[in-house]
Amino acid sequence: MPLNAPDQPVSRHVSQQRLQARLDTLARFGATAKGGVDRQALSREDALAQAQMVRWGHELGLKASRDPAGNLFLRFEGLDDGLPPVLSGSHLDSQPTGGRFDGVFGVVAALEAVQAMVEAGHRPVRAIEVVAWMNEEGSRFAPGMMGSAAFSGARELDEFLPVRDGAGIRVDEALAATRSGLDELLAPEGLSPVVLRPLGGPVAAYVEAHIEQGPVLERVGLSVGIVSGIQGKHTWRIEVLGEAAHAGTSTRAERKDALMAALAMVQAMAQVFHDEDDVTKFTVGRFEVEPNAPSVVASRAVFSIDLRHPDTDRLNAMSQQVQRLCTEHRGPCEVVVQRLSAADSLSFSADMRQLAQDCAQAQDIATLELPSAAGHDARYLNPLAPSAMLFVPCHLGITHNEAEYASPHDLWLGTRVLADMLQALTTASSPESVT
Ligand code: HGY
Ligand code: MN
Ligand code: MN
């Protein structure tokens, strides 16, 4: 049943200054010299950011909890705690040369929406949980979105626990380290420890605010976008095994050159997946060579594949060619093709998109509906509960880059629409169904 924009909107209490100050504070955790952030999942910097969120939540009377996947929740109690909560948030982890807004804006915006309710003296019928999903980016541990995938049951947490980072540290070791790190950071301040909660749980609805990571909104001069859906994405880890040999004495005929075989695979896939309309996104972002010595034929090469397309059938058809193309171009080497994730394209519910539109319109905020080429945790919430995403512009679409920039004004307008959506969703006239 469609909801309407609230008649006493809390959005008037959303503070641009507070929003900006919190983003600036979090940007300090993992700050890079070029003005970006390197806040790897389950790192010390990630724990510092989570601890800061817990402190801010504590000031608002929010209860902090963390699940076995390392997802952090700050709960704003509703009048009826028997009702499933509405969740809102995004991720705190970043790419190695990440920006100050990707993910973290959605977490801070959700907290700001709750603070606006507190300042308005508004107590929702159902609880709101501000959430920071673990490892959305998949940079330190692949694949990404481990936290939201495990929370939703789309993937088993046990699949992720043994995954190692480049230093050989396992996910479960990093989870334990940040768990104790969080407690150590908070205990001296007399803050109650972050409660461990079970994985998963009922969700009435989910809304995620995020920067667009594209140029469209800025180009059309709008501050808020309503996301129609997210394109499909499949990822792989390809390992090519050859034999180290002398660069001067080994002949081409006898070589088992892992690097040359890997390059042949990448070249073949780049050709097969090339499309003139530039819709298919084929990316090899990580490429490791061993022993990585100038005068030694490579004995091993490991590379990533990130393949995306808005049409699920098209994506699946391309996806099925990866194993064949790698095998065909392995030459004298061995190849191990490991698919890490496979997510179809998705659309968000019309009711949720309409609610976003109504909440924006009620504040005279013009919006545009557009798809997301980037992946988001909302992907895994969407099958569980009515979900929506709001975009704000990022300058020239620059992202996954230290120069990422979103204006305080746009962030403020996006947060205002989020606040009124959360208010509508949590004071639903028909508590048993949200939309
Ligand atoms: O890969 C993605 O689309 C997301 O930004 N991690
Ligand atoms: Mn993101
Ligand atoms: Mn990202």
C-alpha 91 to ligand 2 mean position (Å)? 7
Q: 402 in ligand 1 pocket by Cβ < 6 Å? A: no
Lowest pLDDT segment from 46-60, 327-341, 421-435: 421-435
Position 43 pLDDT exceeds 60: yes
Sign of the torsion formed by the C-alpha atoms of 122, 208, 205 and 108: negative
Q: What is the pLDDT of residue 434?
A: 72
Position 117 pLDDT exceeds 60: yes
Q: What is the pLDDT of residue 430?
A: 55
C-alpha 95 to ligand 2 mean position (Å)? 9
Instruction: Say how far apart CA 404 and CA 422 lie, in whole Å.
Output: 27
pLDDT confidence tier of residue 432, bands split at 50, 70 and 90: low
Q: What is the pLDDT of residue 337?
A: 98
What are 187-217's pLDDT values in tens digits?
A: 889 887 899 999 999 999 999 999 999 999 9
Instruction: Say how far apart CA 29 and CA 89 lie, in whole Å.
Output: 18
Q: What is the pLDDT of residue 363?
A: 97
For the chain, give the percent of residues with pLDDT over 90.
94
Position 20 pLDDT exceeds 70: yes
Q: Phi and psi dihedrals of 285, rounded to 5?
A: -95, -25
Q: Which amino acid is at 92?
A: L
Long-range Cβ contact pairs of 162-169 (< 8 A, separation 24 or more): 165/40, 165/140, 165/141, 166/140
268, HSE (Cβ side, Cα atoms, 13 Å): 17
Position 82 pLDDT exceeds 90: yes
What is the SS3 assignment for the chain? CCCCCCCCCHHHHCCHHHHHHHHHHHHCCCECCCCCECCCCCCHHHHHHHHHHHHHHHHCCCEEEECCCCCEEEEECCCCCCCCCEEEEEECCCCCCECCCCCHHHHHHHHHHHHHHHHHCCCCCCCEEEEEECCCCCCCCCCCCHHHHHHHCCCCHHHHCCCECCCCCEHHHHHHHHHHHHHHHHHHHCCCCCEECCCCCCCCEEEEEEECCCCHHHHHCCCEEEEEEECEEEEEEEEEECECEECCCCCCCCCECHHHHHHHHHHHHHHHHCCCCCCCEEECCCEEEECCCCCEECCEEEEEEEEEECCHHHHHHHHCCHHHHHHHCCCCCEEEEEEEEEECCEECCHHHHHHHHHHHHCCCCCEEEEEECCCCCHHHHCCCCCEEEEEECCHHHCCCCCCCCCCHHHHHHHHHHHHHHHHHHHCCCCCCCCC
Q: 212 in ligand 1 pocket by Cβ < 6 Å? A: no
Mutate which of 284, 376, 394 for ligand 1? The one with the most ligand atoms within 8 Å of its CB, which is 376
Position 428 pLDDT exceeds 70: no
Q: Find the mean pLDDT for residues 278-292.
A: 98
C-alpha 175 to ligand 1 mean position (Å)? 21
Q: What is the pLDDT of residue 44?
A: 97
Q: 84 in ligand 1 pocket by Cβ < 6 Å? A: no
Angle, alpha carbons 212-210-393 (nearest 5°): 35
Q: What is the pLDDT of residue 1?
A: 62
Position 26 pLDDT exceeds 60: yes
174, HSE (Cβ side, Cα atoms, 13 Å): 27
- Mean residue pLDDT of the chain comes to 96
pLDDT confidence tier of residue 300, bands split at 50, 70 and 90: very high
Position 435 pLDDT exceeds 80: no
Instruction: Say how far apart CA 410 and CA 170 lie, in whole Å.
Output: 39
Instruction: Say how far apart CA 41 and CA 170 lie, in whole Å.
Output: 12
Q: 45 in ligand 1 pocket by Cβ < 6 Å? A: no
Q: What is the pLDDT of residue 433?
A: 64
For the chain, give the percent of residues with pLDDT over 70.
98
Q: What is the pLDDT of residue 5?
A: 86
Q: Which two tokens stand for residue 236?
A: 């792989």
C-alpha 345 to ligand 1 mean position (Å)? 14
Position 142 pLDDT exceeds 70: yes
What are 50-59's pLDDT values in tens digits?
A: 999 999 999 9
Ligand whose nearest atom lies closest to the CA of 132:
2
Angle, alpha carbons 53-177-37 (nearest 5°): 50
Judge contact between 424 and 4, C-beta under 8 A. yes
Q: What is the pLDDT of residue 7?
A: 82
Judge contact between 136 and 90, C-beta under 8 A. yes
Position 375 pLDDT exceeds 80: yes
Ligand whose nearest atom lies closest to the CA of 231:
1
In Å, how far from its chain's centre is CA 406?
Answer: 17
Among candidate residues 415, 422, 359, 414, the one with its CA nearest the CA of residue 5: 359
Mutate which of 137, 304, 391 for ligand 1? The one with the most ligand atoms within 8 Å of its CB, which is 137
